[in-house]
Each structure stands twice: as structure tokens, then as C-alpha cells.
Amino acid sequence: MARNDRKPTADADAPDEKTTNEVTPTNDIPDQIRKDLDIAYFRTRLFEELTRLEEEREYIRHSSSDMDGNLPEDAESEEDTADLAASLMEREMDMSFEEEIEETMTSIERALQKIDEGTYGICDVSGQDIPRSRL
């Protein structure tokens, strides 16, 4: 047998390509679009929630900017220090709520994009239908 005619031996530690169970995300539009969903209903609900969250975010931003003018400059007494601490804690909570709202808004915008693409209700990773109760 010539040197180039030899078959390579399998490495015992290397995973067999046929047996790996990795799930790879797909960006392809699925062959079957969810026809069991009332897409108009979900689009309306998503827009309503997006509008509500935008209003809530603006309220938080407005109340935070109002609070900026009410913070004591120098904490001369224990009472001023306690007020400053309470105000700063409230502001930090508002910022946390605002961040959470923005994350939710991003998820809603992605859901609306999936509606436009015809992939709403289908898992990006597995390609399986998402149960209606989770949408």
C-alpha cells in the first residue's frame, strides 16, 4: 500500500460529526408559517404594550429629571444625609426600571420584526412552534 493510499484513522477523542447533538440557530425563513395564530391580534397587543412601555419610560425619565433639581447640594445634617440617600436610592431604582423597560421594548420590537418576516411563534434555535401561552 502506498503512503497516500492509507485511510486516516479516527481520533478516539474527536467527536463523531454524525452524532453531535448541537442545535444551531437558523436564520432561514421556515417552510411552514404559523397559520394557527391570529397574527393581527398579536401585532395589536405588541404595539399596545410597546406604547404603554414608552409612556412609562418617559414618566420615569421626567420624574428623574424633576428629582435632580430637588437633591440637596450639601448634606449638613443627618436629616439632609438621609434625604439625599433616599433620593439617590429612588433614582437608582428608576434607572433600573428604565433599563428593564428598554430590554422588554427590544424584545417586543424583535417580535414585531418576526411578524413582518413571517416567523412569529417559531423558535429561532429549534425551529419548533412556540406554545401560544408563551407568546
125 vs 133: CA distance, rounded Å = 19
**Amino acid identity for residue 52 in this structure:** R
Torsion of CA 82, 87, 93, 96, to 10 degrees: -130
Q: What is the pTM of this model?
A: 0.62
- Each residue's pLDDT, cut to its tens digit, for the chain (135 residues) gives 444 444 444 444 444 444 444 444 444 444 557 888 999 999 999 999 999 999 999 998 888 776 655 555 555 666 677 877 888 888 888 889 999 999 999 999 999 999 999 999 999 899 899 999 998
Q: Where are the domains positioned within the chain? A: 36-118
